Structure 1
Protein backbone atom coordinates (compact mmCIF):
# COMPACT_ATOMS: atom_id res chain seq x y z
CA UNK A 1 0.00 0.00 0.00
CA UNK A 2 2.94 2.36 0.73
CA UNK A 3 4.16 2.11 -2.87
CA UNK A 4 0.73 3.10 -4.15
CA UNK A 5 0.71 6.29 -2.04
CA UNK A 6 4.16 7.32 -3.30
CA UNK A 7 2.95 7.56 -6.91
CA UNK A 8 2.59 11.10 -8.24
CA UNK A 9 -0.68 12.09 -9.93
CA UNK A 10 1.06 11.85 -13.30
CA UNK A 11 2.31 8.34 -12.51
CA UNK A 12 -1.20 7.38 -11.42
CA UNK A 13 -2.60 8.72 -14.70
CA UNK A 14 0.02 6.82 -16.69
CA UNK A 15 -0.64 3.61 -14.75
CA UNK A 16 -4.43 3.85 -15.08
CA UNK A 17 -4.17 4.65 -18.81
CA UNK A 18 -1.75 1.75 -19.33
CA UNK A 19 -4.20 -0.49 -17.51
CA UNK A 20 -6.94 0.75 -19.83
CA UNK A 21 -4.84 -0.03 -22.92
CA UNK A 22 -4.07 -3.53 -21.64
CA UNK A 23 -7.69 -4.24 -20.70
CA UNK A 24 -8.90 -2.89 -24.06
CA UNK A 25 -6.49 -5.23 -25.83
CA UNK A 26 -7.87 -8.16 -23.78
CA UNK A 27 -11.38 -7.01 -24.79
CA UNK A 28 -10.34 -7.08 -28.46
CA UNK A 29 -9.01 -10.63 -28.11
CA UNK A 30 -12.23 -11.78 -26.44
CA UNK A 31 -14.32 -10.00 -29.07
CA UNK A 32 -12.52 -12.00 -31.77
CA UNK A 33 -13.74 -15.16 -30.03
CA UNK A 34 -17.15 -13.52 -29.72
CA UNK A 35 -19.97 -15.97 -29.13
CA UNK A 36 -17.93 -18.98 -30.30
CA UNK A 37 -17.39 -20.54 -26.84
CA UNK A 38 -21.14 -20.31 -26.13
CA UNK A 39 -21.97 -21.65 -29.61
CA UNK A 40 -19.66 -24.63 -29.03
CA UNK A 41 -21.20 -25.25 -25.60
CA UNK A 42 -24.76 -25.11 -27.02
CA UNK A 43 -23.82 -27.46 -29.87
CA UNK A 44 -22.20 -29.90 -27.43
CA UNK A 45 -25.44 -29.93 -25.41
CA UNK A 46 -27.50 -30.48 -28.57
CA UNK A 47 -25.28 -33.34 -29.77
CA UNK A 48 -25.37 -34.96 -26.32
CA UNK A 49 -29.18 -34.58 -26.23
CA UNK A 50 -29.63 -36.10 -29.71
CA UNK A 51 -27.29 -39.01 -28.85
CA UNK A 52 -29.20 -39.73 -25.64
CA UNK A 53 -32.53 -39.59 -27.48
CA UNK A 54 -31.28 -41.97 -30.21
CA UNK A 55 -30.02 -44.44 -27.62
CA UNK A 56 -33.34 -44.28 -25.77
CA UNK A 57 -35.28 -44.95 -29.00
CA UNK A 58 -32.99 -47.88 -29.89
CA UNK A 59 -33.58 -49.37 -26.43
CA UNK A 60 -37.34 -48.92 -26.89
CA UNK A 61 -37.10 -50.72 -30.26
CA UNK A 62 -35.37 -53.67 -28.62
CA UNK A 63 -38.09 -53.83 -25.95
CA UNK A 64 -40.88 -53.76 -28.58
CA UNK A 65 -39.15 -56.42 -30.71
CA UNK A 66 -38.87 -58.61 -27.61
CA UNK A 67 -42.59 -58.05 -26.90
CA UNK A 68 -43.41 -59.11 -30.49
CA UNK A 69 -41.47 -62.37 -29.96
CA UNK A 70 -43.45 -62.97 -26.74
CA UNK A 71 -46.73 -62.37 -28.60
CA UNK A 72 -45.70 -64.69 -31.47
CA UNK A 73 -44.81 -67.42 -28.99
CA UNK A 74 -48.19 -66.89 -27.31
CA UNK A 75 -49.93 -67.26 -30.72
CA UNK A 76 -48.10 -70.55 -31.27
CA UNK A 77 -49.26 -71.72 -27.84
CA UNK A 78 -52.86 -70.71 -28.60
CA UNK A 79 -52.71 -72.61 -31.92
CA UNK A 80 -51.40 -75.69 -30.15
CA UNK A 81 -54.24 -75.36 -27.64
CA UNK A 82 -56.78 -75.16 -30.51
CA UNK A 83 -55.34 -78.34 -32.04
CA UNK A 84 -55.55 -80.07 -28.66
CA UNK A 85 -59.17 -78.97 -28.01
CA UNK A 86 -60.22 -79.83 -31.60
CA UNK A 87 -58.71 -83.31 -31.15
CA UNK A 88 -60.53 -83.70 -27.82
CA UNK A 89 -63.84 -82.85 -29.49
CA UNK A 90 -63.55 -86.04 -31.52
CA UNK A 91 -63.88 -88.16 -28.37
CA UNK A 92 -66.40 -86.22 -26.26
CA UNK A 93 -69.26 -88.12 -24.62
CA UNK A 94 -71.91 -85.40 -24.64
CA UNK A 95 -72.87 -81.95 -25.99
CA UNK A 96 -71.91 -80.20 -22.77
CA UNK A 97 -68.27 -81.33 -23.11
CA UNK A 98 -68.31 -80.47 -26.84
CA UNK A 99 -69.69 -76.98 -26.19
CA UNK A 100 -67.15 -76.41 -23.40
CA UNK A 101 -64.31 -77.31 -25.77
CA UNK A 102 -65.84 -75.10 -28.48
CA UNK A 103 -65.79 -72.15 -26.06
CA UNK A 104 -62.14 -72.88 -25.24
CA UNK A 105 -61.33 -72.92 -28.96
CA UNK A 106 -63.18 -69.61 -29.48
CA UNK A 107 -61.30 -68.09 -26.54
CA UNK A 108 -57.97 -69.21 -28.00
CA UNK A 109 -58.95 -67.75 -31.39
CA UNK A 110 -59.85 -64.41 -29.74
CA UNK A 111 -56.49 -64.42 -27.96
CA UNK A 112 -54.77 -65.00 -31.31
CA UNK A 113 -56.70 -62.10 -32.90
CA UNK A 114 -55.80 -59.81 -29.98
CA UNK A 115 -52.12 -60.79 -30.13
CA UNK A 116 -52.03 -60.25 -33.93
CA UNK A 117 -53.66 -56.82 -33.48
CA UNK A 118 -51.06 -55.93 -30.82
CA UNK A 119 -48.21 -57.17 -33.06
CA UNK A 120 -49.55 -55.02 -35.91
CA UNK A 121 -49.62 -51.97 -33.60
CA UNK A 122 -46.14 -52.71 -32.31
CA UNK A 123 -44.78 -53.08 -35.86
CA UNK A 124 -46.31 -49.69 -36.75
CA UNK A 125 -44.64 -48.24 -33.63
CA UNK A 126 -41.33 -49.77 -34.73
CA UNK A 127 -41.63 -48.18 -38.19
CA UNK A 128 -42.40 -44.81 -36.62
CA UNK A 129 -39.48 -45.07 -34.20
CA UNK A 130 -37.13 -46.15 -37.01
CA UNK A 131 -38.19 -43.05 -38.95
CA UNK A 132 -37.54 -40.85 -35.90
CA UNK A 133 -34.14 -42.55 -35.35
CA UNK A 134 -33.20 -41.96 -39.02
CA UNK A 135 -34.15 -38.28 -38.75
CA UNK A 136 -32.30 -37.97 -35.43
CA UNK A 137 -29.24 -39.66 -36.94
CA UNK A 138 -29.26 -37.22 -39.86
CA UNK A 139 -29.66 -34.27 -37.50
CA UNK A 140 -26.95 -35.66 -35.20
CA UNK A 141 -24.51 -36.01 -38.11
CA UNK A 142 -25.18 -32.42 -39.22
CA UNK A 143 -24.84 -31.04 -35.68
CA UNK A 144 -21.69 -33.11 -35.04
CA UNK A 145 -20.10 -31.80 -38.25
CA UNK A 146 -21.09 -28.24 -37.31
CA UNK A 147 -19.68 -28.76 -33.81
CA UNK A 148 -16.40 -30.12 -35.21
CA UNK A 149 -16.09 -27.07 -37.47
CA UNK A 150 -16.87 -24.61 -34.65
CA UNK A 151 -14.48 -26.36 -32.25
CA UNK A 152 -11.63 -26.25 -34.75
CA UNK A 153 -12.43 -22.57 -35.35
CA UNK A 154 -12.36 -21.89 -31.60
CA UNK A 155 -9.21 -23.99 -31.09
CA UNK A 156 -7.43 -22.02 -33.83
CA UNK A 157 -8.39 -18.70 -32.23
CA UNK A 158 -7.46 -19.96 -28.77
CA UNK A 159 -4.08 -21.22 -29.99
CA UNK A 160 -3.47 -17.84 -31.57
CA UNK A 161 -4.57 -15.66 -28.67
CA UNK A 162 -4.44 -17.67 -25.43
CA UNK A 163 -0.78 -16.95 -24.61
CA UNK A 164 -1.24 -13.26 -25.35
CA UNK A 165 -4.39 -13.09 -23.24
CA UNK A 166 -2.69 -14.87 -20.32
CA UNK A 167 0.33 -12.55 -20.58
CA UNK A 168 -1.88 -9.44 -20.73
CA UNK A 169 -4.04 -10.66 -17.82
CA UNK A 170 -0.88 -10.94 -15.72
CA UNK A 171 0.15 -7.44 -16.81
CA UNK A 172 -3.32 -6.12 -15.97
CA UNK A 173 -2.99 -7.58 -12.48
CA UNK A 174 0.49 -5.98 -12.11
CA UNK A 175 -0.83 -2.54 -13.05
CA UNK A 176 -3.88 -2.93 -10.82
CA UNK A 177 -1.53 -3.64 -7.90
CA UNK A 178 0.17 -0.26 -8.49
CA UNK A 179 -3.08 1.74 -8.41
CA UNK A 180 -4.68 2.90 -5.18
CA UNK A 181 -7.88 1.09 -4.23
CA UNK A 182 -10.21 4.08 -4.58
CA UNK A 183 -9.03 4.93 -8.09
CA UNK A 184 -9.06 1.28 -9.16
CA UNK A 185 -12.63 0.84 -7.87
CA UNK A 186 -13.71 3.95 -9.81
CA UNK A 187 -11.99 2.61 -12.94
CA UNK A 188 -13.74 -0.77 -12.68
CA UNK A 189 -17.11 0.85 -12.00
CA UNK A 190 -16.83 3.17 -15.02
CA UNK A 191 -15.55 0.32 -17.22
CA UNK A 192 -18.51 -1.88 -16.37
CA UNK A 193 -21.04 0.90 -17.01
CA UNK A 194 -19.87 1.97 -20.49
CA UNK A 195 -20.53 -0.05 -23.65
CA UNK A 196 -16.97 -0.07 -25.02
CA UNK A 197 -15.26 -0.59 -21.65
CA UNK A 198 -13.32 2.70 -21.91
CA UNK A 199 -12.98 4.16 -18.41
CA UNK A 200 -9.91 6.29 -19.25
CA UNK A 201 -9.84 8.40 -22.42
CA UNK A 202 -7.62 11.08 -23.87
CA UNK A 203 -8.54 14.59 -25.02
CA UNK A 204 -8.79 14.64 -28.80
CA UNK A 205 -9.53 17.91 -30.63
CA UNK A 206 -10.87 19.55 -27.49
CA UNK A 207 -13.28 16.72 -26.54
CA UNK A 208 -12.93 13.46 -24.64
CA UNK A 209 -12.34 10.57 -27.07
CA UNK A 210 -15.62 9.05 -28.19
CA UNK A 211 -17.63 12.05 -26.96
CA UNK A 212 -19.10 15.05 -28.76
CA UNK A 213 -18.95 17.21 -25.65
CA UNK A 214 -16.21 19.85 -25.72
CA UNK A 215 -13.96 20.12 -22.67
CA UNK A 216 -13.64 23.75 -21.47
CA UNK A 217 -10.17 25.24 -22.22
CA UNK A 218 -9.43 25.79 -18.51
CA UNK A 219 -10.19 22.11 -17.78
CA UNK A 220 -7.96 21.07 -20.70
CA UNK A 221 -5.10 23.09 -19.14
CA UNK A 222 -5.69 21.35 -15.78
CA UNK A 223 -5.69 17.93 -17.46
CA UNK A 224 -2.45 18.76 -19.30
CA UNK A 225 -0.80 19.88 -16.03
CA UNK A 226 -1.32 16.34 -14.62
CA UNK A 227 -1.73 17.68 -11.09
CA UNK A 228 -5.06 16.05 -10.34
CA UNK A 229 -7.35 13.34 -11.64
CA UNK A 230 -10.20 14.86 -13.64
CA UNK A 231 -13.29 13.12 -14.96
CA UNK A 232 -15.56 14.02 -17.85
CA UNK A 233 -18.70 15.58 -16.37
CA UNK A 234 -20.85 14.00 -19.11
CA UNK A 235 -19.57 10.40 -19.25
CA UNK A 236 -17.77 10.12 -15.88
CA UNK A 237 -14.64 8.83 -17.64
CA UNK A 238 -11.16 9.65 -16.34
CA UNK A 239 -9.41 12.11 -18.67
CA UNK A 240 -5.75 12.26 -19.75
CA UNK A 241 -4.04 14.67 -22.13
CA UNK A 242 -3.27 13.57 -25.68
CA UNK A 243 0.55 13.84 -25.25
CA UNK A 244 0.55 11.47 -22.26
CA UNK A 245 -1.83 9.14 -24.10
CA UNK A 246 0.44 9.05 -27.17
CA UNK A 247 3.52 8.27 -25.05
CA UNK A 248 1.73 5.43 -23.24
CA UNK A 249 0.26 4.03 -26.45
CA UNK A 250 3.74 3.83 -27.97
CA UNK A 251 5.02 2.12 -24.82
CA UNK A 252 2.17 -0.40 -24.82
CA UNK A 253 2.50 -1.06 -28.57
CA UNK A 254 6.01 -2.39 -27.85
CA UNK A 255 4.51 -4.67 -25.20
CA UNK A 256 1.76 -5.88 -27.54
CA UNK A 257 4.17 -6.40 -30.45
CA UNK A 258 5.72 -9.36 -28.61
CA UNK A 259 2.78 -11.39 -29.93
Structure 2
Protein backbone atom coordinates (compact mmCIF):
# COMPACT_ATOMS: atom_id res chain seq x y z
CA UNK A 1 0.00 0.00 0.00
CA UNK A 2 1.42 3.42 -1.01
CA UNK A 3 2.37 5.77 1.77
CA UNK A 4 0.31 8.96 1.98
CA UNK A 5 2.51 11.95 2.70
CA UNK A 6 1.68 13.73 5.93
CA UNK A 7 2.03 17.49 5.85
CA UNK A 8 3.02 19.60 8.85
CA UNK A 9 0.73 22.35 10.11
CA UNK A 10 3.07 24.94 8.63
CA UNK A 11 2.95 23.19 5.24
CA UNK A 12 -0.85 23.05 5.45
CA UNK A 13 -0.99 26.74 6.32
CA UNK A 14 1.36 27.58 3.47
CA UNK A 15 -0.83 25.56 1.08
CA UNK A 16 -3.92 27.35 2.36
CA UNK A 17 -2.26 30.71 1.73
CA UNK A 18 -1.33 29.63 -1.81
CA UNK A 19 -4.87 28.40 -2.34
CA UNK A 20 -6.38 31.63 -1.01
CA UNK A 21 -4.12 33.85 -3.10
CA UNK A 22 -4.76 31.81 -6.27
CA UNK A 23 -8.51 31.77 -5.67
CA UNK A 24 -8.48 35.52 -4.98
CA UNK A 25 -6.70 36.11 -8.29
CA UNK A 26 -9.31 33.96 -10.03
CA UNK A 27 -12.01 36.03 -8.31
CA UNK A 28 -10.41 39.20 -9.70
CA UNK A 29 -10.51 37.75 -13.22
CA UNK A 30 -14.13 36.75 -12.71
CA UNK A 31 -14.95 40.29 -11.58
CA UNK A 32 -13.12 41.63 -14.65
CA UNK A 33 -15.38 39.50 -16.85
CA UNK A 34 -18.34 40.76 -14.85
CA UNK A 35 -21.73 39.75 -16.16
CA UNK A 36 -20.45 39.33 -19.71
CA UNK A 37 -20.53 35.49 -19.78
CA UNK A 38 -24.13 35.48 -18.53
CA UNK A 39 -25.12 38.33 -20.85
CA UNK A 40 -23.63 36.51 -23.86
CA UNK A 41 -25.45 33.30 -22.89
CA UNK A 42 -28.76 35.14 -22.41
CA UNK A 43 -28.39 36.96 -25.73
CA UNK A 44 -27.66 33.69 -27.55
CA UNK A 45 -30.80 32.15 -26.01
CA UNK A 46 -32.85 35.22 -26.92
CA UNK A 47 -31.61 35.22 -30.52
CA UNK A 48 -32.36 31.49 -30.77
CA UNK A 49 -35.90 32.23 -29.61
CA UNK A 50 -36.28 35.08 -32.11
CA UNK A 51 -35.07 32.83 -34.95
CA UNK A 52 -37.60 30.20 -33.88
CA UNK A 53 -40.35 32.85 -33.89
CA UNK A 54 -39.23 34.06 -37.31
CA UNK A 55 -39.33 30.50 -38.69
CA UNK A 56 -42.78 29.97 -37.17
CA UNK A 57 -44.15 33.17 -38.76
CA UNK A 58 -42.65 32.23 -42.13
CA UNK A 59 -44.31 28.80 -41.91
CA UNK A 60 -47.64 30.48 -41.01
CA UNK A 61 -47.33 32.80 -44.02
CA UNK A 62 -46.61 29.81 -46.27
CA UNK A 63 -49.67 28.06 -44.84
CA UNK A 64 -51.87 31.10 -45.54
CA UNK A 65 -50.51 31.36 -49.08
CA UNK A 66 -51.39 27.70 -49.65
CA UNK A 67 -54.88 28.45 -48.29
CA UNK A 68 -55.21 31.35 -50.78
CA UNK A 69 -54.16 29.09 -53.66
CA UNK A 70 -56.82 26.58 -52.60
CA UNK A 71 -59.46 29.32 -52.61
CA UNK A 72 -58.27 30.55 -56.02
CA UNK A 73 -58.73 27.03 -57.36
CA UNK A 74 -62.23 26.93 -55.86
CA UNK A 75 -63.04 30.21 -57.64
CA UNK A 76 -61.63 28.86 -60.89
CA UNK A 77 -63.70 25.67 -60.62
CA UNK A 78 -66.86 27.64 -59.66
CA UNK A 79 -66.41 30.05 -62.58
CA UNK A 80 -66.05 27.08 -64.93
CA UNK A 81 -69.31 25.64 -63.57
CA UNK A 82 -71.08 28.98 -63.98
CA UNK A 83 -70.07 29.08 -67.63
CA UNK A 84 -71.21 25.50 -68.01
CA UNK A 85 -74.62 26.30 -66.47
CA UNK A 86 -74.97 29.46 -68.59
CA UNK A 87 -74.47 27.34 -71.69
CA UNK A 88 -76.97 24.77 -70.42
CA UNK A 89 -79.52 27.51 -69.71
CA UNK A 90 -79.67 28.27 -73.41
CA UNK A 91 -81.16 24.84 -74.05
CA UNK A 92 -83.64 24.46 -71.20
CA UNK A 93 -86.99 22.91 -72.04
CA UNK A 94 -89.08 24.17 -69.12
CA UNK A 95 -89.14 26.53 -66.14
CA UNK A 96 -88.22 23.77 -63.74
CA UNK A 97 -84.91 23.11 -65.51
CA UNK A 98 -84.30 26.85 -65.80
CA UNK A 99 -84.83 27.39 -62.06
CA UNK A 100 -82.62 24.42 -61.19
CA UNK A 101 -79.79 25.76 -63.35
CA UNK A 102 -80.22 29.28 -61.91
CA UNK A 103 -80.05 27.86 -58.39
CA UNK A 104 -76.80 26.05 -59.18
CA UNK A 105 -75.37 29.24 -60.72
CA UNK A 106 -76.36 31.23 -57.60
CA UNK A 107 -74.65 28.63 -55.38
CA UNK A 108 -71.47 28.80 -57.43
CA UNK A 109 -71.50 32.61 -57.39
CA UNK A 110 -71.93 32.50 -53.60
CA UNK A 111 -69.00 30.06 -53.48
CA UNK A 112 -66.94 32.54 -55.49
CA UNK A 113 -67.86 35.47 -53.22
CA UNK A 114 -67.11 33.44 -50.10
CA UNK A 115 -63.73 32.34 -51.50
CA UNK A 116 -62.93 35.94 -52.46
CA UNK A 117 -63.75 37.06 -48.91
CA UNK A 118 -61.51 34.32 -47.52
CA UNK A 119 -58.71 35.46 -49.83
CA UNK A 120 -59.18 39.10 -48.77
CA UNK A 121 -59.05 38.15 -45.07
CA UNK A 122 -56.07 35.88 -45.68
CA UNK A 123 -54.16 38.65 -47.48
CA UNK A 124 -54.81 40.98 -44.54
CA UNK A 125 -53.53 38.27 -42.21
CA UNK A 126 -50.42 37.89 -44.38
CA UNK A 127 -49.91 41.66 -44.05
CA UNK A 128 -50.03 41.36 -40.26
CA UNK A 129 -47.68 38.37 -40.32
CA UNK A 130 -45.29 40.19 -42.67
CA UNK A 131 -45.09 43.13 -40.26
CA UNK A 132 -44.49 40.70 -37.40
CA UNK A 133 -41.80 38.96 -39.46
CA UNK A 134 -40.08 42.26 -40.26
CA UNK A 135 -40.16 43.17 -36.56
CA UNK A 136 -38.61 39.81 -35.67
CA UNK A 137 -35.87 40.27 -38.31
CA UNK A 138 -35.04 43.74 -36.96
CA UNK A 139 -34.95 42.37 -33.40
CA UNK A 140 -32.58 39.58 -34.49
CA UNK A 141 -30.31 42.05 -36.27
CA UNK A 142 -30.27 44.34 -33.23
CA UNK A 143 -29.58 41.54 -30.76
CA UNK A 144 -26.90 40.03 -33.00
CA UNK A 145 -25.16 43.42 -33.07
CA UNK A 146 -25.19 43.60 -29.27
CA UNK A 147 -24.05 39.97 -29.04
CA UNK A 148 -21.14 40.62 -31.40
CA UNK A 149 -20.04 43.55 -29.24
CA UNK A 150 -20.39 41.61 -25.97
CA UNK A 151 -18.56 38.60 -27.40
CA UNK A 152 -15.78 40.88 -28.59
CA UNK A 153 -15.39 42.33 -25.09
CA UNK A 154 -15.42 38.89 -23.48
CA UNK A 155 -12.99 37.39 -25.98
CA UNK A 156 -10.57 40.27 -25.38
CA UNK A 157 -10.70 39.75 -21.62
CA UNK A 158 -10.27 36.00 -22.04
CA UNK A 159 -7.38 36.57 -24.42
CA UNK A 160 -5.71 38.93 -21.97
CA UNK A 161 -6.23 36.73 -18.91
CA UNK A 162 -6.35 33.14 -20.19
CA UNK A 163 -2.69 32.33 -19.53
CA UNK A 164 -2.82 33.90 -16.08
CA UNK A 165 -6.15 32.21 -15.27
CA UNK A 166 -4.84 28.77 -16.27
CA UNK A 167 -1.77 29.28 -14.10
CA UNK A 168 -3.84 30.22 -11.05
CA UNK A 169 -6.16 27.24 -11.63
CA UNK A 170 -3.07 25.03 -11.63
CA UNK A 171 -1.73 26.61 -8.42
CA UNK A 172 -5.16 26.26 -6.77
CA UNK A 173 -5.42 22.58 -7.77
CA UNK A 174 -1.91 21.78 -6.51
CA UNK A 175 -2.56 23.55 -3.20
CA UNK A 176 -5.82 21.66 -2.69
CA UNK A 177 -3.97 18.35 -2.94
CA UNK A 178 -1.91 19.33 0.10
CA UNK A 179 -4.91 20.19 2.27
CA UNK A 180 -6.89 17.45 3.98
CA UNK A 181 -10.56 17.19 2.93
CA UNK A 182 -11.98 18.32 6.29
CA UNK A 183 -9.81 21.45 6.36
CA UNK A 184 -10.51 22.10 2.69
CA UNK A 185 -14.25 21.87 3.36
CA UNK A 186 -13.86 24.42 6.18
CA UNK A 187 -11.92 26.71 3.85
CA UNK A 188 -14.67 26.53 1.22
CA UNK A 189 -17.40 27.10 3.80
CA UNK A 190 -15.66 30.17 5.25
CA UNK A 191 -14.79 31.49 1.79
CA UNK A 192 -18.39 31.22 0.63
CA UNK A 193 -19.57 33.08 3.73
CA UNK A 194 -17.94 36.36 2.73
CA UNK A 195 -18.40 38.49 -0.37
CA UNK A 196 -14.66 39.07 -0.73
CA UNK A 197 -14.02 35.30 -0.61
CA UNK A 198 -11.32 35.61 2.06
CA UNK A 199 -11.04 32.55 4.30
CA UNK A 200 -7.33 32.95 5.08
CA UNK A 201 -6.13 36.31 6.44
CA UNK A 202 -3.01 37.56 8.15
CA UNK A 203 -2.78 39.32 11.48
CA UNK A 204 -2.07 42.97 10.71
CA UNK A 205 -1.40 45.58 13.40
CA UNK A 206 -2.52 43.17 16.12
CA UNK A 207 -5.90 42.62 14.44
CA UNK A 208 -7.62 40.09 12.19
CA UNK A 209 -7.09 41.01 8.55
CA UNK A 210 -10.68 40.04 7.81
CA UNK A 211 -12.89 41.60 10.48
CA UNK A 212 -10.22 43.82 12.15
CA UNK A 213 -11.07 42.42 15.57
CA UNK A 214 -8.13 42.70 18.01
CA UNK A 215 -6.03 39.54 18.49
CA UNK A 216 -4.49 39.08 21.99
CA UNK A 217 -0.63 38.87 22.15
CA UNK A 218 -0.72 35.27 23.41
CA UNK A 219 -2.94 34.30 20.48
CA UNK A 220 -0.58 36.01 18.05
CA UNK A 221 2.33 34.07 19.53
CA UNK A 222 0.48 30.79 18.93
CA UNK A 223 -0.26 31.84 15.35
CA UNK A 224 3.45 32.50 14.68
CA UNK A 225 4.41 29.06 16.01
CA UNK A 226 2.47 27.26 13.22
CA UNK A 227 1.63 24.35 15.51
CA UNK A 228 -2.11 24.36 15.00
CA UNK A 229 -4.84 25.90 12.86
CA UNK A 230 -6.18 28.99 14.61
CA UNK A 231 -9.32 30.84 13.62
CA UNK A 232 -10.56 34.30 14.48
CA UNK A 233 -13.02 34.08 17.36
CA UNK A 234 -15.05 36.88 15.81
CA UNK A 235 -15.35 36.07 12.08
CA UNK A 236 -14.15 32.44 11.92
CA UNK A 237 -11.45 33.08 9.30
CA UNK A 238 -8.20 31.12 9.51
CA UNK A 239 -5.42 33.33 10.85
CA UNK A 240 -1.85 33.44 9.49
CA UNK A 241 1.10 35.54 10.65
CA UNK A 242 2.18 38.23 8.19
CA UNK A 243 5.61 36.69 7.60
CA UNK A 244 4.20 33.38 6.35
CA UNK A 245 1.45 35.18 4.42
CA UNK A 246 3.84 37.44 2.53
CA UNK A 247 6.54 34.81 2.01
CA UNK A 248 4.08 32.56 0.16
CA UNK A 249 4.02 33.66 -3.46
CA UNK A 250 1.70 32.38 -6.20
CA UNK A 251 3.41 34.00 -9.21
Q: 1:70 — aligned with what?
A: 70
**Match in the other structure for 2:219:** 219
Aligned residues of 1:4 and 1:180 also touching (Cα < 8 A): no
Asked if structure 1 preserves the Cα contact closer than 8 Å seen for 2:210 and 2:237, the reply is no
What residue number does 1:118 align with? 118
The offset of 1:3, in angstroms, is 6.1
TM-score scaled by length of structure 1: 0.91
Does residue 190 (structure 1) correspond to residue 193 (structure 2)? The answer is: no
Q: Do the aligned residues in 2 keep the contact of 1:3 with 1:178 (CA within 8 Å)?
A: no
**Matched-pair contact (CA < 8 Å) for 2:198–2:210:** no
What is the CA–CA distance in structure 2 between the aligned matches of 1:102 and 1:33, rounded to whole Å?
80
SS, match of residue 110 in structure 2: helix
> Which is further off, 50-59 or 92-101?
50-59
The equivalent of 2:46 in structure 1 is 46
Contact 1:50–1:140 (8 Å) recurs in 2: yes
Q: Which segments of 5 or more consecutive residues in structure 1 lack a partner in the other structure?
A: none
SS of the equivalent of 1:201 reads strand
In the other structure, the counterpart of 2:35 is 35
* Between 39-48 and 9-18, the greater mean CA deviation after superposition: 9-18
Question: What is residue 203 of structure 1 aligned with on the other side?
Answer: 203
Q: 1:73: Cα distance to partner?
A: 2.1
| Deviation string, structure 1 residues 87-118 (Cα, Å, up to 9, x no partner) | 21121111110110111011001101110110
Cα displacement (A) at 1:48: 1.1
Partners of 2:12 and 2:4 lie apart in 1 by 11
Equivalent pair of 1:4/1:179 in contact (CA under 8 Å): no
CA distance in 2: counterparts of 1:26 and 1:233, whole angstroms: 28
Structure 2, gaps ≥5 residues long:
none
Question: Residue 203 of structure 2: SS of its match in structure 1?
Answer: strand
Question: In structure 1, how many angstroms separate the alpha carbons of the residues matched to 2:41 and 2:12?
Answer: 41
**Structure 2 length-normalised TM:** 0.93
The CA RMSD measured in Å over matched residues stands at 1.7
Equivalent position of 1:171 in the other structure: 171
**CA–CA distance in structure 1, aligned partners of residues 68 and 115 of structure 2:** 9
Q: How does 1:46-195 map to 2 (within 5 A)?
A: 46-195=46-195
- Matched positions, count: 250
3-state SS, counterpart of residue 150 of structure 2: helix
Q: CA deviation at 1:226?
A: 2.4
Q: Is the 8 A contact 2:210 2:235 kept in 1?
A: no
Alpha-carbon separation, structure 2, partners of 1:245 and 1:191:
17
Whole-Å Cα distance in 1 between the matches of residues 212 and 164 of structure 2? 34
1:16 touches 1:200 (CA, 8 Å); kept in 2?
A: yes
Cα distance, 1:171–1:220 mapped onto 2, change above 3 Å: same
- What CA distance in whole angstroms lies between the structure 2 residues aligned with 1:209 and 1:118? 78
Output the CA distance in 1 between the equivalents of 2:139 and 2:98: 61
State the distance in 2 between where 1:219 and 1:38 align.
Answer: 44
Deviation of 1:38 (Å): 1.4
Q: Which residue of 2 aligns with 1:236?
A: 236
